[in-house]
Amino acid sequence: MRLRFDDSVEATRQEFREWLAANRPSVEEMAADPAVSTGHAPDWARRWTRAMFDAGWLVPGWPPELGGRGAGPIETFVVLEELAAAHVPRTTNVQGLGIVAPSIVDYGTPEQVRDHALPILRGELTACLGMSEPDAGSDLASLSTRAVLEGDEDTGEWVIDGQKVWTSGANYADFCFLFCRTEPDEPKHRGISILLVPMDAPGITVRPLPEIVHPDEPDLNEVFLDGVRVPAASLVGRRGDGWAMANGSLAHERGMVWVSAVMGLEEALGSLVAGAPAHLAAMGPHERALAVDQIVQIAIDTQAARCLGQRGFAKLARGGSAPEQALMKLYASDCRQRVARIAADVQGADSLELGSVPNDGHQAVDEPRGTWMEQWFHSFANTISAGTSEIQRNIVAERVLGLPRG
């Protein structure tokens, strides 16, 4: 079977490819001033986001005033595919572009769209996502960061106290899309609201958490909020609707995130296969047979990941629902972890180097970077963030297979 898009989609691909070649940030430019956190947008990244916005390629499915061109999902798909193939990040501020801006567009006031969403889309501001807390990760509804309204809903102020953790990019972001408990007497799913909080507000302390690979460029942070005051108008959507909005926020782009995940997986597999013959030749027959078996299995699984993604996407593009999407994050992130493990096993001791590859521009794409052991460490970002693999399995069991709750 040969899968191909129709001519009009391929024409869009060609148009974007030409525009990309003429306007993309160069490899040298990105490497000279690398993004060191997902809240950090170096000058080239700001210019690049703005160029994508102005040309209507940033969010192709949106109207021109929001950085789009009213394109369909298939055109958006080919744009993402071309970006991944060219190793150009769509943005360095993944949370801002992927979750915060779309959520403000969906639920915010016109002023919030003007002052927060549009500046993200034009590359002028970056945002972080303040959901997880020390005692509220998978069970987000248990969050305890508290916001109390002093004064009335027009002229008053929210006073915020609490702590967030694992907040990607908080060390550079301009503002936080902060989930807080505002209705302490309501059931826990109904007492959460979202506030827009400037990261330089008095009372905010950000403490970066060094990671094993590149500890000098931390992206994850603890954020402490101690009597932080923001205007009443910082509330996004309705009071107490934060839980419902969170589900909407995280659903943004869910239909598309697999594209770069699968392309990163395919690239990692390609480099495993390219390097394997030399290492296999040095192995004894039993060890070699085992290694070949593992490589073949992950090659099959990589194909399956692409087929699963395309199958689910085809259903979504036709307006249907696609349980494949629920399996995709789990499967692609698991495969990515296994490809790094298998490659490290095949390569042997050389794979254990750390800090071998300098930051070449951006952290915000799924492309393989560093030694196999570094890639293996990095792979946990995807099996934990945005819902751990165990939580994905629960979702697949209950919502896709209809099994009873365990």
Ligand X SMILES: Cc1cc2nc3c(=O)[nH]c(=O)nc-3n(C[C@H](O)[C@H](O)[C@H](O)COP(=O)(O)OP(=O)(O)OC[C@H]3O[C@@H](n4cnc5c(N)ncnc54)[C@H](O)[C@@H]3O)c2cc1C
Contact track, ligand X, 85-124, x by CB under 6 A:
----------x-----------------------------
Select which of 82, 217, 253, 374 is catalytic.
253
Asked if 397 is part of the footprint of ligand X (rule: CB under 6 A), the reply reads no
Residues 134-173 that bind ligand X (CB under 6 A): 137-138, 166-168
In the bound state with ligand X, the residue whose beta carbon lies nearer, of 166 and 243, is: 166
- Do the beta carbons of residue 323 and residue 254 sit within 8 Å? no
**Cα distances (Å, whole numbers) of residue 56 to 15, 59, 68, 95, 107:** 12, 7, 4, 20, 22
Q: Does 283 bind ligand X (CB under 6 A)?
A: no
Is 374 part of the annotated catalytic residue set?
no
**Exposure of 397 by Cβ count < 10 A (0-12 exposed, 13-18 middle, 19+ buried)?**
middle
User: Which CB atom, from 24 or from 164, has the smaller least distance to ligand X?
Assistant: 164
CB of 55 or CB of 384, closer to ligand X: 384
Residue 388 in the binding site for ligand X (CB under 6 A) = yes
391 near ligand X, rule: CB under 6 A: yes
Q: How far is the CB of 167 from ligand X (least distance, A)?
A: 5
Q: Cβ distance 373 to 352 under 8 Å?
A: yes
Site residues for ligand X, window 208-227 (CB under 6 A)?
A: 220
Binding flag, residue 381, ligand X (CB under 6 A): yes
Structural contact between residues 95 and 128, judged by C-beta atoms closer than 8 angstroms = yes
Phi then psi dihedrals of residue 336, to 5 deg = -65, -35
Residue placing its CB nearer to ligand X in the complex, 114 or 393: 393
Cα Rg of the chain (Å, integer): 22
Burial class (CB in 10 A: 0-12, 13-18, 19+), 277: exposed
Return the residue of 12, 132, 193, 347 that touches ligand X, per CB under 6 A: 132
Question: Which element (helix H / strand E) includes 157?
Answer: strand 157-165
Structure tokens at 385: 């963030």
Q: Please report, as ranges, the residues that interact with ligand X according to CB under 6 A.
A: 95, 128-132, 137-138, 166-168, 220, 381, 384-385, 388, 390-391, 394
Question: Which residues are designated catalytic?
Answer: 253
